[in-house]
Amino acid sequence: GESVGLHLPTLSVQEGDNSIINCAYSNSASDYFIWYKQESGKGPQFIIDIRSNMDKRQGQRVTVLLNKTVKHLSLQIAATQPGDSAVYFCAENSLGSARQLTFGSGTQLTVLP
């Protein structure tokens, strides 16, 4: 039968602007967080990660911010480009979870020309 699922949150930004994608997590034991980019029909691609002993980490054009107090994670993409259009997932790993990742619901980023 037909499956009913949640629609992905969407974010549209103009090319060249900065993008901010947010993620909330609920497990206070989570100690490792990863952002993935997934293009249509492909597997997730690693973007950046951060451990719970940090609150900020920067990569090339990307920055991840971690606020453990409110269990919030964000991904900032500077100077967003058309190639950045994709679905972005946060994933977390928790102590005692057999090292498996738990994925968030994802955000569809669309870059407008």
Partner 1 sequence: GAVVSQHPSRVICKSGTSVKIECRSLDFQATTMFWYRQFPKQSLMLMATSNEGSKATYEQGVEKDKFLINHASLTLSTLTVTSAHPEDSSFYICSARGQSYGYTFGSGTRLTVV
CB of 105 to partner 1, least distance (A): 5
Are 52 and 66 in contact by the 8 Å Cβ rule? The answer is yes
> What SS3 class is residue 5?
coil
- Options 50-58, 63-71, 73-81, 103-111: segment touching partner 1 (CB under 8 A): 103-111
69 binds partner 1, rule: CB under 8 A: no
Extract the tokens encoding 16: 């060249």
Contact between 71 and partner 1 per CB under 8 A: no
Pairing mode of beta strands 72-77, 86-94: unpaired
| Residue 99 within binding range of partner 1, rule CB under 8 A | yes
User: Per rule CB under 8 A, is residue 101 in the interface with partner 1?
Assistant: yes
Q: Is residue 28 near partner 1 by the rule CB under 8 A?
A: no
How many residues form the binding site for partner 1 (CB under 8 A)?
26
What's the Rg (C-alpha) of the chain?
Answer: 14
Across-strand partners of 75? 21, 64
41 binds partner 1, rule: CB under 8 A:
yes
Nearer to partner 1, 43 or 83 (CB): 43
Q: Is the separation of the CB atoms in 52 and 30 below 8 Å?
A: yes
